[in-house]
Amino acid sequence: MSQFVYHRRVQFSETDMAGIVHFSNYYRYMEEAEHAFLRSLGLSVMMTRDDGSVIGWPRVRTSCAYEAPARFEDEIEIRLNVSRKGVKSLTLDMEFWRGETRLARGSLKTVCCIVAHNTELISIPIPPDIDAKIVESPELSDDLA
């Protein structure tokens, strides 16, 4: 998969008093797009294994640079690319578009972790069955600084 595209409509509750999407919502939008991307691959952000342990993807770094405002009722297109797939981590770069206008660019770095009953999170190499489904595809127009 070279690029995953996710659409959503801005809700009134996501805007500030000026009618503009509050900056914090872009992080929610990135998470929604990430979850939809994983579901499109038959995966989830939390996957229970046969032994009862759970594999998840906690965030270790996020960023977002804003370029233009989004407003109530705008339909936003979020373009997600896996810009880096490491042994244990994924970096997902996203662009937010309204028509021909780029609204923002964001990035999530997540680490594959496992947690068993009553234990702490432990980072692990991405399991082969998951790794095989995720394709690295750097395609966004600019890197986030």
Q: Is residue 126 a contact partner of residue 110, using CB atoms and an 8 Å limit?
A: no
Query: Which of 16, 129, 142, 143 is an active site residue?
Result: 16
Is residue 137 domain-resident? Answer: no
Is residue 53 domain-resident? Answer: yes
Is residue 54 domain-resident? Answer: yes
Compute the distance between CA of residue 31 and CA of residue 45 in angstroms, rounded to an integer. 10
Catalytic-residue membership of 16: yes
Q: Which residue has the higher pLDDT, 145 or 113?
A: 113
pLDDT in tens, 31-83: 999 999 999 999 999 999 999 999 999 999 999 999 999 999 999 999 999 99
- Number of domains forming the structure of the chain: 1
Is residue 56 domain-resident? Answer: yes
Is residue 110 domain-resident? Answer: yes
Is residue 144 domain-resident? Answer: no
CATH number (domain holding residue 38): 3.10.129.10
Is residue 136 domain-resident? Answer: no
To which H or E segment does residue 106 belong? strand 101-111
Compute the distance between CA of residue 64 and CA of residue 34 in angstroms, rounded to an integer. 15
Q: What's the pLDDT band for 1 if we cut at 50, 70, 90? A: low
Is residue 112 domain-resident? Answer: yes
Determine the structural domain holding residue 68 and report its residue range. 4-131
pTM score over 0.85: yes
Compute the distance between CA of residue 22 and CA of residue 53 in angstroms, rounded to an integer. 36
Is it the case that residue 136 has pLDDT exceeding 80? yes
